[in-house]
Chain A
Amino acid sequence: MAEGMTWSVTDGDKLTQAEVYGEVLSQLGERYPDLVAITADLASSTKIGRFGKKYPDRFINVGIAENTMFGMAAGLAQAGLRPVVSTFAAFTALRSAEQVRTDICYQNLNVKIISTHAGISFGQAGSTHHCTEDLAVMRSFANMTVIVPSDGLETGNAVAAAMEWPGPVYIRVGRGFEPPVNKTQDYGYAIGKAITMREGQDVTIIACGVGVLQAIRAAEVLDRQGLSARVINMHTIKPIDREAIIQAVTDTRRIITVEEHNVMGGLGSAVAEVIVESGKACAFRKLGVPDCYSIVGYPEDLYHHYKFDSDGIVETVGDLMRMEIEEDDDWEDET
């Protein structure tokens, strides 16, 4: 492990987000003796069980009782412990929304929630096991920090950073393997600070989670078409990096958001709020699941079906570039 690093995984770019999470959490157990891991019969599916194997005395499986799990996490935090909770995103954000909101967020407790199988990453399972609403729900809870890591290594960084971040944190990850966007873990990850993955001046693609890789691929295609696309990895949905968004509006005046979530309430909505409040004109499109319950299928097929894969992004950029917006070089008169 390099100096200053709190975790290290071998072949982190070949592991799923959840696998990296499980490994990192078990490594953090030594640094944080007050860390307690809890799950509701999903020790192996969410990979939190790896912590349990290493620290059985600090691991609690409550059975299939998510509401009790989140209420109990609140009690553990009030008892001075550092609970980390994992289940599927649908159960966190929908079944246990009230416990997360009232027991944890209302009391601003130090509970870290890592939810797996988010979005449509468990595409074959159908909508009971999809979760394209969690960002909207979690973002609306005061005190909550909301993070969507782009790959396994970023998941490790986010989990480690969350341990030092005050109050409740929600980190959403997928289910299966997705190709990585980061080659190493050492790229200066910080909660709330967007990462520019690629510079560009014609259009900005703001993405989170699996959308980041699709955005990078789309930018490569656009480059060959003579369009310069900036790609921003907006891994923290709340607090959102307003500066990065306003800079993108100023520099490119055309923005697309990409997320594995309903286009209502998640990253796209959060970005739109910042753009509108900036008072600056900007052509804007949101890509994601278009306010429907997803069809069943393999995730990559679904990304394509709902046009938030690289092909869909390229197509939407084309639409956006044809859109007429007010040309005005003098931003000062619009503030």
Chain B
Amino acid sequence: MPLTPEEIQGLTKKAWEIRKTIIETTFTCGGSHIGGSLSQTDVLVALYYKYLNIDPARPDWEDRDRFVLSKGHGGIGWASVLGEKGFFDKTLLKDFNKTGSPFGMHLDSLKVTGCDASTGSLGHGLAIGVGLAVGARLRNKDYRTYVMMGDGELCEGTVWEAAILAGHRGLDNLTAIIDRNGLMIDGPTEQITTLEPIDEKFRAFGWEALTIDGHDFAAIGGAVEQAQSVKGKPCVIICKTVKGKGVDLMEGQAQWHYGGLNSDLRDQALASIDTYYREVLG
């Protein structure tokens, strides 16, 4: 069922909060992978607030849907969502990156409640997701597994190993999501190494492939629901996004892959986010 206008408005407001949390936390922690955290936010909000079958009060619930952030550097954005969702006290984020904190840039599944897999080294998450999806079948569980990867991450050969296997086994309980913001650390993906056509590559490996605007909740919702209904094969949702989305001075800028904020930049970023959302929400 398509998202209602009220649902879209609710998700939009939640994404507004999350983006501000990312900025505030980046300011206090000294530096973060801010660009990719902002580009992935809308998809994460849609999943955590609408589509994932989860219960923050029961983080180890066996039947919960699994989410693996294979682009583990988006950890600050993921932690912002997990905290907001209530997996832990979100005020703990003030200790992000600090010595002894449970929160480092790349989340640790043994320390962060709600984090289903420790990630950070690119190219690992899809294979873990294949294991979770095959495990669901072996245990007769109905849960679904979602794996979000960065687009630059697609350079890693292990992604394609796992994609072959998922296609071969027809894992229709597995959904991959690509945060296609077009930038890796050193510049535009297509300048560094050609990734396109990503959809055709996955289709050739036995996947269903959808391409959407990764900042459009209606489109995200439609794609996730379509992925859930595909039978006999896994589905990849290629989400076209903007690195740094919502902060005008960061949008589309590769240098904001990672960065710190002083109080002036923080204030500018927060103001830019507020302006953006006031416009979106009318």
Q: What residues of chain A have their CB less than 8 Å away from a CB belonging to chain B?
A: 36, 57-58, 60, 62-63, 65, 67-81, 83, 98-99, 102-103, 106-108
Contact A67 B127 (CB under 8 A): yes
Closest A residue to B132 using CB positions: A75
CA distance A67 to B162 in the complex (A): 9
Supposing A102-B121, A106-B118, A108-B110 touch, asked if A76 and B131 sit within 8 A by C-beta, the answer is yes
Residues of B within 8 A of A102 (CB): 118, 120-121, 124
In the complex, which residues 106-134 of chain B have their Cβ closer than 8 Å to any Cβ of chain A? 108-110, 116-118, 120-121, 123-134
Closest 6 CB pairs of A and B: A75-B131, A79-B135, A71-B127, A72-B131, A65-B161, A68-B161
A-B pairs under 8 A by CB, number: 104
Contact B121 A98 (CB under 8 A): yes
Residues of B within 8 A of A68 (CB): 127, 130, 158, 161-162, 165
Does chain A have a CB within 8 A of B200? Answer: no
CA distance A83 to B109 in the complex (A): 19
| Set A75, A81, A106, A107: member contacting B129, Cβ < 8 A | A75
Does chain A have a CB within 8 A of B198? Answer: no
Please name 20 further chain A to chain B contacts, defined as beta carbons within 8 Å, in addition to the given A67-B127, A80-B62, sorted by A numbering. Answer: A60-B134, A67-B123, A68-B165, A70-B127, A71-B124, A72-B130, A72-B131, A73-B131, A75-B128, A75-B130, A75-B133, A79-B132, A79-B134, A79-B138, A80-B139, A83-B131, A98-B124, A103-B117, A103-B118, A103-B127
CA distance A78 to B165 in the complex (A): 19
Residues of A within 8 A of B62 (CB): 80
Closest B residue to A72 using CB positions: B131
| Set A65, A70, A81, A98: member contacting B138, Cβ < 8 A | A81
For the residues of B in contact with A, the DSSP-based class is helix
Contact A58 B138 (CB under 8 A): yes
Residues of A within 8 A of B66 (CB): 78
Tell me the minimal C-beta distance from A34 to chain B in angstroms. Answer: 8
CA distance A58 to B137 in the complex (A): 11
Offer 9 A-B interface pairs, CB within 8 angstroms, sorted by A: A63-B168, A67-B158, A68-B127, A71-B158, A72-B130, A75-B145, A76-B131, A99-B124, A103-B127
Residues of B within 8 A of A80 (CB): 62, 135, 139
